[in-house]
Amino acid sequence: MQQSTEEWQPIADGVWALSYQFSNMGMVISTRMTVIRLADGSLFSHSSVPLTPAQQAALDALGPLRHVVAPSAMHHMFVPALARLYPQASLYGTAGVLHKHPDLPQMQLIPQDESAAWAGQLQCLPVNGIPLLDETLWFHTSSGSLIATDLLQCWQGPLSLPVRMYLGLTGGHERLTVPRTVRLLVRDKAAVQACVRQIESLPVQRVILLHNSVITDQPLQRLREALSIWDSSNR
């Protein structure tokens, strides 16, 4: 099981991450906050985790956090706490996140055009066709990093028995895959396939997963294998 990291870990040039371990439905799991330095020196954060004063100070040393993104309707629990720490930051979320957080009236819908502060540096890829998931993938052009939330999972290392039992049902143990729980949520396969084609066209050098691992060994091949369940020939 990946433990909480006390310090920000460098992932690539201008990319850092912090993992946080917590209990959810009786399972001890980890989640990850990924931070990217934009061209103007400001920071963009994908997902949120609770920060200690030391972790906040270390984050501030990397640059001013100005953009906080909640990437899916399933991952937003720690956004209010981060918003309180950084009241000057702009908050963005999917439609599902906005619906779940009337307590954050300042939160905006994630912009999908050139008006975004990160335009030309980060590409937002909405996963259409799975409305309950309401997930967005993100691609950082300069580092070749694809950041995923729940659509893709690969749990590695020592894991607790409840987590191993859960992965026995959903998949994703030591292998990059789309969990069976996600596959069951698909409502428009053609829309998902269009998203898959877009993802597979990207020059991916690593896959940063919200849960547990970062894929650096043959990431594009493993990504295509995981997404092959939605190959257009599999109708």
Report the pLDDT value the prediction gives residue 1, as an integer from 0 to 100.
Answer: 34
- Tell me the C-alpha distance between 56 and 184, whole Å: 38
* Band of pLDDT at residue 24, cut at 50, 70 and 90: low
The vertex-193 CA angle with 178 and 228, nearest 5°, equals 45
Q: Is the pLDDT of residue 146 over 80?
A: yes
Mean pLDDT of 112-122: 93
User: pTM of the entire structure?
Assistant: 0.90
Q: Give the DSSP H or E segment for 56.
A: helix 53-62
Cβ-proximal residues to 85 (8 Å cutoff; 6+ apart), any chain: 51, 56
pLDDT digits (tens, 9 = 90+) for 61-92: 999 999 999 999 988 889 999 999 999 999 99
**pLDDT at position 3:** 42
**Residue range 35-62, pLDDT digits in tens:** 999 999 999 999 999 999 999 999 999 9
Q: What is the pLDDT of residue 235?
A: 46
Look at residue 26 in the predicted model and tell me its pLDDT.
64
Count of Cβ atoms closer than 10 Å to residue 88 Cβ: 7
Name the band, by pLDDT with cuts 50, 70 and 90, for residue 5.
low
Could you report the per-residue pLDDT of 9-22, keeping only the tens digit for each?
A: 999 999 999 998 87
Burial label for 53, CB within 10 Å (0-12, 13-18, 19+), is exposed
Residue 233 or 109, more confident = 109
